[in-house]
A = this chain, B = another copy of it.
Amino acid sequence: MVFQKILQDIIEGVDGGLAGMVIAKDGIALETYVRADIDGGVDIQALGVELVTLTGEIGRVTQALGSEGFEELSLVLPAHVAVMRMITPEYFLVVLLGRNGNFGKARYLMRRESPRLQKEF
């Protein structure tokens, strides 16, 4: 499955990569990849659902700036960094890193893989 391979390439390619997900706007995950060696403490499904729920609210921010849609949202938390990239207006790529993970590399790989993901929709 192409999604699984792309998610694995991203998560294994980033220092501190923990989990990745392709998720639809309605909060249903199409594919999830969790690095085998992380503990089970992170609920990536719940994270995905909450991030996708945010996209509705982000619409008001983008309107304040005269934009339609967003490319990328990132959230730095005390123990994690979460990055969400819009693949299409209906589908999103979510990547979760540890707090000291390589945020720049994650953004780069997510942008690089975006056209491969777009081709699937």
Contacts and interface: CB of A to CB of B under 8 A. Distances in A.
Contact of A76 (B41, B60, B71): B71
B71 A78 contact: yes
A75 B61 contact: yes
A50 B54 contact: no
A interface, over-half SS: mixed
Interface in A50-94: 50-51, 53-54, 57-58, 60-80, 82
**Chain A, interface residues (CB within 8 Å), range:** 35 or more
Nearest to A77: B67
Nearest to A72: B76
A47 to B, nearest CB: 5
A42 B66 CA distance: 8
Contact of A64 (B43, B62, B76): B43
A3 to B, nearest CB: 21
Nearest to A56: B57
A46 interface: yes
Q: Which of A63, A64, A66 has the most CB of B within 10 A?
A: A64
Give me the 4 closest cross-chain CB pairs, A-B, nearest first: A46-B64, A72-B76, A50-B61, A67-B77
